[in-house]
């Protein structure tokens, strides 16, 4: 298996105004004082990776809340990426933004610096649900952030939505979907809320203070999202992602292709030359490491090969509407992939969870809802 | 060195659980200096950790003590410990037979309880001199006068001379020893008669083999003697005899009236069965001591390793346990649902619990135990009678003439305000009222005949909850009675799950079937298809539930390219499935078996 050189880069900004009750991601509230040193550290980490990429096709600033950084800091890090690796013509450069920190001024400056896609973490257009999720923004701020992004010149805007929220009904969800469609974003991500152990939400559910929708309602919601968004002209191109024609998120597509990507920042994941690693997650420790000797430490790394790598590649590909290309994969891996996967393919096509058409395996609508059941069986 | 027989006193201590038997034994050991302060651990006689934790005595021990009495003479006292629980009543009766007297401990606040009654009746039938001790008199709730009345009225023992003691505080312990010396008769056997020694316990030692605990009734025994077990007929050469001080200490010989141990290259506990009589191979006794019987399992269950690779380890563990526990029986069996395992027979529920716990604790094995059942006697139309300990072995109904189930005589002692609850419970459990009498002013002794199977099903828990813990309970086996029982099968999508089937009384079948299906519905995880859960008697479905198909199981997002995390989540899920038992197309988590099998009614 030969590994392509990375043409994507992910930059992690771990700061948040407040930690949301459901979030178990590598993000921290009350640490913004570290931002200047952290920005310096990011730039140093980027420049020291010179030569790792022949030029970037996609860049993604995620968080945390990247828009909490001053615009010039965002511009500096992006500039460092451009200087170190070069940005391809038409590169997709995404900035994740939360409504409360996405002012017109900041967005305009970001657009000016070279960001051309913005992904706004709206989650819901229902004030009550936003509050119960522990989000710090309001419905009005979400709408304002969207129009600010448009005015700042972003022609590729994505909205993040969540469903399956505690107390949410199908009609609540339809309200949020209608509001989102009304704004006319090019791209929508709709995530089913996962209640992660260790989060305040998990504790509240356990204590019986809030009740998440049962699986049946969550499944109905998933289908409602799919139906409503596809009717509105969005293509359902990955389990949780919808886009207008030709507006798919190319950065995420690189992940699903199991392609290589660089990762920068505390807790960022990277996949280069067959090695997956996750950088030190604690922003203070991460910054300290760069400051002391210019090198971040990996908190975790692994190298997958053979069947394990094939399984992972299948797991990712099956999430997309393009599915698993058996011929292509057989070439890449130098073995008959259809034979390797014959058992799960037979089992799940009989169960109606996957379809096989012209050498491509894709999840059916029912299969998407049971994706874990299916994907797990493709793993080594 | 042989003791002068009239200076020997052999005694045991009998009591209801928690009335202070072990504490009194500890104080006696201290007073007679059998145990120095340094090596003293609380409850010295209970050697297994489990016993210490549960506060119950499982294996007996016999300790030889030297006591200088107030008459200035030194006596040899043999304290023979007895298990307190009903499951071991045969062992109790054997150890009582090794004694001439019993110290009866009654809690000054609790009074006479069901096990007190049971133990006293065993002691009386062994013709023991009984020394009543009212213990815990330092407790605020102590009512020694009331308890004296109870001892006299309920147990028909003269309590005018009862010792008032607090073993915890050391009060009255000296009195107990004096009473033992003066009230209990010395052993009466003849040192010159042919050897007769009662085996009342044994343990397995990896170097010595079986160590038999004996009471020499007649004659004497020394190293080099060739001995014969009168029930089994097996012969051995004695390699050592000795006494417990409390550690094993070799002696030149043991003679009539003495208590000690015999080592004779015996390989398995079955070579020295409790209750058997040892005599000499040449010029032996003609008549064994009375009362020998083989301990018979009354309760059985299937035991399966949680992971099938542990099967050989489980076998080895059972073999080792059996070395020390002749009452445990087992044979291999196979379950379609649980794989390879063993059908194990026990004296009772506590015995079963103890074995399960020892397997897990001492051998580190994860065990799935199927629902305990009793051993039924099935009379077939061809005239043959078979004992059925496993639902899978029940013959087809057309081949069955009749089935008998084991019965028990149960005794419950309860404050009269809770009497109604006890009678309802016994009635509900298919009991037959025998009689009832007052113990003291406000407590009632209720006697019922009940099917043993009904006691297996959380009877004790129910009793406790209906009497707020004030009832005490004991039972003894009481033969067999014809009964209308059926086999109830549980099916998942039409496939029977043999590990979940059980034999039950016809009147219980519907409620238990319904309960079982409801419980399984709660426990079974939703799967990619619908699961039908059915309870059936033969072809007739008597209860059914449905687990609807799983509709959603999908990870929404992979944050920032953290693909490893997503993959690990799925790997964990896949790993979890491997641990499930596949029954037909249905995946059943092992926890499902565990919680269903623990199901009470």
Name the pairing type of β-strands B101-107 and B129-135. parallel
CA distances for B586 relative to B309, B494, B496, B502, B548, angstroms: 22, 10, 11, 20, 13
Q: Three-class SS of residue B499?
A: helix
* CA–CA dist B548, B529 (Å, integer): 7
Query: Tokens for B163?
Result: 């010792």
pLDDT score recorded for residue B49: 54
The gap from C-alpha A285 to its chain's centroid, in whole angstroms, comes to 24
- Which helix (H) or strand (E) segment holds residue B532: the answer is strand B531-537
Q: Three-class SS of residue A113?
A: helix
Q: Which residues of A touch B559 (CB under 8 A)?
A: 25, 62
User: Which residues lie across from B304 on neighbouring strands?
Assistant: B368
Q: Which of A375, A377, A379 to mutate to test the interface with B (most CBs of B within 10 A)?
A: A375
Average pLDDT estimate for B80-89: 70
DSSP string, B234-291: -EEE--EEEEESSSEEEESEEETT-EEEEE----SGGGG-TT-EEEESSS--SSPPTT
Portion 343-382 of B in contact with A at CB < 8 A: none
State which residue of chain B sits closest to A304, comparing Cα positions. B564
Cβ separation of A379 and B558 shorter than 8 Å?
no
Cβ separation of A215 and B526 shorter than 8 Å?
yes
DSSP string, B410-460: EEEEEEGGGHHHHHHHHHHTT-EEEEEEEETTTEEEEEEEEEHHHHHTTHH
Looking at the complex, does the CB of residue A217 fall below 8 Å from at least one CB of chain B? no
Q: Which residue has the tokens 């009862």?
A: B162
Task: Render pLDDT for B403-430 as a digit per residue (tens, 0 to 9).
Answer: 999 999 999 989 889 999 999 999 999 9
Looking at the complex, does the CB of residue A218 fall below 8 Å from at least one CB of chain B? yes
pLDDT category at B41 given cuts 50, 70, 90 is very low
CA distance A61 to chain B (A): 9
Bond from prior residue into A64 cis (ω within 30 degrees of 0)? yes
Q: Which of B552, B559, B561 sits opposite A369 (nearest CB)?
A: B552
A-B contacts at Cβ under 8 angstroms: 102
State which residue of chain B sits closest to A371, comparing Cα positions. B554
Helices (H), B467-586: 506-523, 563-578
Query: Tokens for B7?
Result: 């200076």
Looking at the complex, does the CB of residue A171 fall below 8 Å from at least one CB of chain B? no
For chain B, give the percent of residues with pLDDT over 70. Answer: 92
Cβ separation of A10 and B557 shorter than 8 Å?
no
Asked if the model's pLDDT at residue B319 lies above 90, the reply is no
Q: Which residues of B touch A376 (CB under 8 A)?
A: 570-571, 573-574, 577
Q: What is the pTM of this model?
A: 0.66
Task: Render pLDDT for B231-281 as a digit per residue (tens, 0 to 9).
Answer: 889 999 999 999 988 788 899 999 999 999 999 999 877 788 888 999 999
Q: Three-class SS of residue B129?
A: strand
* CA–CA dist B451, B480 (Å, integer): 9
- Which helix (H) or strand (E) segment holds residue A140: the answer is helix A139-151
pLDDT score recorded for residue B22: 84
User: Which residues lie across from B179 on neighbouring strands?
Assistant: none
User: Which residues lie across from B101 on neighbouring strands?
Assistant: B11, B129
CA distance B579 to chain A (A): 15
CA distance B567 to chain A (A): 7
Cβ separation of A369 and B551 shorter than 8 Å?
yes
Q: Which of A265, A372, A380 to mutate to test the interface with B (most CBs of B within 10 A)?
A: A372
Mean pLDDT of chain B: 86
Q: Which residues in B285-306 are b (16+ Cβ under 10 Å) and which e? A: beebbeebeebebbbbbbbbbb
pLDDT category at B48 given cuts 50, 70, 90 is low
Strand order across the beta sheet in which A360-363 lies = A324-325, A360-363, A354-357
Cβ separation of A261 and B561 shorter than 8 Å?
yes
Query: Tokens for B182?
Result: 């003066």
Half-sphere exposure of B111 (CA within 13 A, CB side): 26
Domains in chain A: ranges and CATH: 8-256 (3.20.20.70), 306-379 (1.10.10.920)
Let me know the angle formed at the C-alpha of B552 by B546 and B557, rounded to the nearest 5 degrees.
Answer: 160
Q: Which of A373, A374, A377, A379 to mutate to test the interface with B (most CBs of B within 10 A)?
A: A373
pLDDT score recorded for residue B400: 93
Angle between helices B459-466 and B419-428 (to 10 degrees): 160
CA distance B63 to chain A (A): 55
Average pLDDT estimate for B542-558: 86
Query: Tokens for B572?
Result: 């964990």
State which residue of chain B sits closest to A164, comparing Cα positions. B556
| Cβ pair B553, A369 in contact under 8 A | yes
Looking at the complex, does the CB of residue B549 fall below 8 Å from at least one CB of chain A? no
* CA–CA dist B113, B411 (Å, integer): 10
Looking at the complex, does the CB of residue A224 fall below 8 Å from at least one CB of chain B? no
Q: Which residues of A touch B553 (CB under 8 A)?
A: 215, 369-373
| Cβ pair A156, A91 in contact under 8 A | no
Phi then psi dihedrals of residue B513, to 5 deg? -65, -45
Bond from prior residue into B546 cis (ω within 30 degrees of 0)? no
Cβ separation of B561 and A269 shorter than 8 Å?
yes
Q: Three-class SS of residue A57?
A: strand
Average pLDDT estimate for B41-70: 61
Portion 100-129 of A in contact with B at CB < 8 A: none
Strand order across the beta sheet in which B277-280 lies = B235-237, B226-229, B277-280, B196-205, B209-218, B259-263, B240-244, B248-251
Cβ-Cβ contacts under 8 Å for A280 (sequence gap 6 or more): A266, A267, A286, A289, A296, A297, A298, A299
Name the pairing type of β-strands A360-363 and A324-325. antiparallel
The gap from C-alpha A45 to its chain's centroid, in whole angstroms, comes to 22
Cβ-Cβ contacts under 8 Å for B347 (sequence gap 6 or more): B87, B88, B90, B295, B297, B298, B299, B327
User: pLDDT tens track of chain A, all 380 residues?
Assistant: 678 999 999 999 999 998 888 888 899 999 999 999 999 999 999 999 999 999 999 999 998 999 999 999 999 999 999 999 999 999 999 999 999 999 999 999 999 999 999 999 999 999 888 888 888 888 999 999 999 999 999 999 999 999 999 889 999 999 999 999 999 999 999 999 988 888 999 999 899 888 888 888 999 999 999 999 999 999 999 999 999 999 999 999 999 999 999 999 999 999 999 999 999 999 999 999 999 999 999 999 999 889 999 999 999 999 999 999 999 999 999 999 999 999 999 999 999 999 999 999 999 999 999 999 999 999 98
Cβ-Cβ contacts under 8 Å for B394 (sequence gap 6 or more): B376, B378, B388, B400, B487, B503
Asked if the model's pLDDT at residue B447 lies above 90, the reply is yes
Cβ separation of B574 and A376 shorter than 8 Å?
yes
Q: Which residues of A touch B552 (CB under 8 A)?
A: 192, 215-216, 218-219, 222, 369-370
Q: Which of B556, B560, B573 sits opposite A194 (nearest CB)?
A: B556
* CA–CA dist B502, B511 (Å, integer): 13
Q: Which of A263, A271, A370 sits opposite B550 (nearest CB)?
A: A370
* CA–CA dist A86, A262 (Å, integer): 14
User: Looking at B27-31, B176-180, B457-461, which range is the least confident one?
Assistant: B457-461
Query: Tokens for B549?
Result: 């198909």
| Cβ pair A44, A84 in contact under 8 A | no
pLDDT score recorded for residue B575: 83
Cβ-Cβ contacts under 8 Å for B179 (sequence gap 6 or more): B103, B131, B163
Looking at the complex, does the CB of residue A255 fall below 8 Å from at least one CB of chain B? yes
pLDDT category at B87 given cuts 50, 70, 90 is low
Q: Which of A191, A315, A375 sits opposite B556 (nearest CB)?
A: A191
Q: Which residue has the higher pLDDT, B581 or B343?
A: B343
- Measured between its terminal Cα atoms, the distance across chain B in Å is 59
Q: Which residue has the tokens 């006292």?
A: B77
Helices (H), A300-362: 306-317, 326-333, 337-340, 342-350
Helices (H), B262-409: 311-324, 349-363
- Which helix (H) or strand (E) segment holds residue B318: the answer is helix B311-324
Cβ separation of A215 and B564 shorter than 8 Å?
no
| Cβ pair B451, B429 in contact under 8 A | yes
User: Which residues lie across from B263 on neighbouring strands?
Assistant: B211, B240
* CA–CA dist B579, B575 (Å, integer): 7
Cβ separation of A216 and B551 shorter than 8 Å?
yes
Task: Render pLDDT for B139-196 as a digit per residue (tens, 0 to 9).
Answer: 999 999 999 999 998 888 999 999 999 999 989 999 999 999 999 999 999 999 999 9
Q: Which of A240, A268, A372 sits opposite B573 (nearest CB)?
A: A372
């Amino acid at each position: 298996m030969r590994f392509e050189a990375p043409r994507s880069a992910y930059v992690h900004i771990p700061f948040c105004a407040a930690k949301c009750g459901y979030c178990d991601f590598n993000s921290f509230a009350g640490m913004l004082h570290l931002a200047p040193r952290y920005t310096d550290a990011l730039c140093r980490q980027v420049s020291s990776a010179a030569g790792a990429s022949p030029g970037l096709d996609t860049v993604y600033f995620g968080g945390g809340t990247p828009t909490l950084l001053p615009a010039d800091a965002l511009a500096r890090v992006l500039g460092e990426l451009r200087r170190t690796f070069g940005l391809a013509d038409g590169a997709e450069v995404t900035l994740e933004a939360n409504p409360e920190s996405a002012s017109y001024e900041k967005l305009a400056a970001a657009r000016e610096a070279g960001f051309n896609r913005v992904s706004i973490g709206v989650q819901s257009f229902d004030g009550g649900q936003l509050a119960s999720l522990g989000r710090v923004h309001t419905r009005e701020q979400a709408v304002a952030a969207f129009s600010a992004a448009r005015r700042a010149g972003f022609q590729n805007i994505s909205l993040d939505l969540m469903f399956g929220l505690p107390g949410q009904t199908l009609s609540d969800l339809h309200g949020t979907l209608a509001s989102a469609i009304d704004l006319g974003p090019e791209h929508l991500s709709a995530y089913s809320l996962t209640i992660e152990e260790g989060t305040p939400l998990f504790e509240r559910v356990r204590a019986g203070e809030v009740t998440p929708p049962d699986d049946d309602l969550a499944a109905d919601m998933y289908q409602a999202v799919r139906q409503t968004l596809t009717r509105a002209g969005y293509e359902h191109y990955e389990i949780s992602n919808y886009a207008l024609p030709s507006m798919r998120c190319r950065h995420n597509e690189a992940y699903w292709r199991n392609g290589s990507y660089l990762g920068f920042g505390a807790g960022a994941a990277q996949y280069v030359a067959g090695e997956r690693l996750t950088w030190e997650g604690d922003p203070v420790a991460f910054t300290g490491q760069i400051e002391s000797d210019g090198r971040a430490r990996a908190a975790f790394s692994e190298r997958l090969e053979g069947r394990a790598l094939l399984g992972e590649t299948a797991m990712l590909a099956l999430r997309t509407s393009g599915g698993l290309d058996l011929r292509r994969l057989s070439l890449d891996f130098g073995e008959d992939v259809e034979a390797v996967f014959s058992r799960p393919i037979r089992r799940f096509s009989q169960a109606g969870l996957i379809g096989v058409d012209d050498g491509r395996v894709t999840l059916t609508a029912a299969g998407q809802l049971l994706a874990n059941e299916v994907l797990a069986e493709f793993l080594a | 060195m042989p003791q002068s027989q009239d200076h020997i006193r052999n005694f045991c201590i009998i009591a209801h659980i928690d009335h202070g038997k072990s504490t009194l034994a500890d104080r006696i050991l201290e007073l007679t200096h059998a145990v120095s302060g340094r090596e003293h651990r609380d409850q010295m006689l209970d050697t297994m950790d489990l016993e210490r934790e549960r506060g119950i005595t499982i294996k007996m021990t016999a300790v030889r003590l030297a006591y200088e009495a107030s008459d200035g003479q030194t006596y040899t006292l043999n304290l023979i410990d007895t298990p307190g629980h009903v499951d071991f009543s045969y062992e109790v009766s054997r150890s009582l037979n090794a004694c001439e007297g019993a110290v009866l401990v009654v809690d000054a606040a609790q009074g006479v309880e069901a096990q007190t009654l049971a133990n006293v009746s065993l002691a009386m039938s062994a013709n023991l001199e009984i020394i009543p001790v009212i213990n815990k008199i330092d407790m605020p709730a102590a009512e020694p006068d009331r308890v004296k009345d109870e001892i006299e009225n309920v147990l028909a023992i003269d309590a005018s001379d009862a010792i008032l003691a607090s073993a915890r505080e050391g009060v009255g312990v000296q009195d107990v020893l004096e009473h033992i010396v003066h009230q209990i008769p010395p052993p009466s056997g003849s040192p010159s008669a042919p050897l007769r020694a009662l085996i009342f316990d044994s343990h397995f030692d990896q170097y010595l083999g079986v160590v038999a605990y004996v009471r020499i009734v007649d004659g004497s025994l020394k190293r080099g003697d060739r001995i014969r077990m009168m029930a089994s007929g097996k012969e051995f050469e004695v390699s050592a005899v000795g006494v417990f001080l409390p550690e094993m200490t070799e002696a030149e010989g043991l003679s009539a009236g003495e208590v000690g141990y015999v080592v004779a290259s015996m390989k398995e506990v079955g070579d020295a069965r409790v209750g058997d009589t040892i005599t000499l191979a040449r010029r032996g006794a003609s008549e064994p001591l009375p009362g020998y019987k083989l301990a018979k399992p009354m309760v059985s269950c299937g035991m399966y390793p949680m992971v099938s690779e542990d099967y050989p380890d489980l076998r080895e563990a059972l073999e080792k346990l059996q070395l020390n526990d002749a009452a445990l029986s087992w044979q291999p069996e196979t379950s379609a649902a649980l794989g390879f395992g063993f059908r194990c027979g026990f004296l009772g529920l506590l015995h079963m619990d103890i074995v399960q716990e020892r397997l897990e604790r001492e051998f580190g094995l994860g065990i799935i135990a199927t629902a305990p059942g009793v051993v039924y006697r099935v009379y077939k139309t061809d005239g043959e009678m078979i004992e059925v300990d496993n639902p899978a072995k029940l013959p087809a109904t057309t081949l069955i003439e009749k089935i008998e189930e084991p019965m028990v005589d149960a005794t419950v002692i309860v404050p009269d305000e809770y009497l109604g609850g006890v009678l309802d419970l016994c009635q509900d459990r298919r009991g037959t009222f025998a009689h009832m009498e007052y113990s003291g002013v406000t407590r009632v002794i209720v006697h019922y005949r009940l099917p043993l199977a009904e006691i297996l099903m959380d009877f004790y828990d129910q009793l406790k909850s209906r009497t707020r813990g004030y009832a005490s309970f004991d039972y003894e086996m009481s033969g067999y009675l014809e009964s209308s029982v059926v086999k109830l099968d549980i099916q998942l999508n039409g496939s029977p799950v043999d590990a979940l089937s059980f034999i039950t009384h016809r009147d219980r079948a519907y409620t238990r079937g319904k309960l079982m299906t409801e419980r399984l519905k709660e426990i079974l995880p939703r799967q990619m298809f619908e699961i039908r859960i059915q309870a059936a008697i033969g072809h007739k479905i008597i209860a059914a539930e449905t687990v609807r198909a799983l509709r959603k199981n999908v990870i929404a997002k992979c944050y920032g390219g953290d693909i490893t995390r997503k993959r690990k989540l799925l790997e964990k899920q896949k790993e979890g499935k491997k641990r499930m038992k596949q029954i037909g197309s249905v995946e059943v988590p092992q926890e499902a078996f565990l919680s269903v099998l623990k199901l009470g009614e």
